[in-house]
Amino acid sequence: MVEGAVQDPLVALARQAVEEYVRFRRMKAIPTPIPSEMTTPAGAFICLKSHGQLRGCIGTIEPCEPNLAAEIIQNSVSAAIRDPRFEPITEDELDDLHYTVDVLSDQERIHSLDELDTKRYGVIVQSGGKRGLLLPDLEGVDTVEDQVCIAMRKAGIWNDEPMVLYRFEVKRHE
């Protein structure tokens, strides 16, 4: 963050949640009063990067908490310590972390890849009980085919399996 810049309140909450958990092993309390932009429930993904490299990313497609503030707190801590691809964040890393909070819109079923745009829409690919998600506007994901293929791979869905596609938009906070 640029010194003197005002931090987005959703990003500030994510940072506070991670720092409190990593330093003191306790969950941050939900702010009271809850800021107006965080009162309604929504799915949210929290991504942590260190020196430009992904360090953790966990989220929920649909809300699991009563409000966005609680969703951000839970998912921030999960991104920091429960992403199976990475070791848990340590206190020494806290100052180097860059946070993004993606708040998801409701998902919408689609019937064709023509209804996707990698910059605008994330994708959910579902086959039976398997479901994979890829957020929109990710570096290195330039085609709809790549976006769907990555989401399928994440879910363990093969090309010959019947599948249903959904799209969603995000509001990204940095």
**pLDDT tens for each residue of 67-111:** 999 999 999 999 999 999 999 999 999 999 999 999 999 999 999
Q: Does domain 108-169 have CATH number 3.40.50.1820?
A: no
The domain limits of the chain are 9-104, 108-169
Sheet holding 97-104, edge to edge: 53-59, 44-50, 97-104, 170-173
Count Cβ neighbours within 10 Å for each residue of 71-86 and write b for 16 or more, e otherwise: bbbbbbbbbbbebeeb
* Nearest in space to 152 (alpha carbons), one of 168, 142, 163, 141: 163
| Fold adopted by 9-104 | Glycoprotein, Type 4 Pilin (3.30.700)
Q: Model pTM?
A: 0.90
Residue 49 forms beta bridges with which residues? Answer: 54, 98
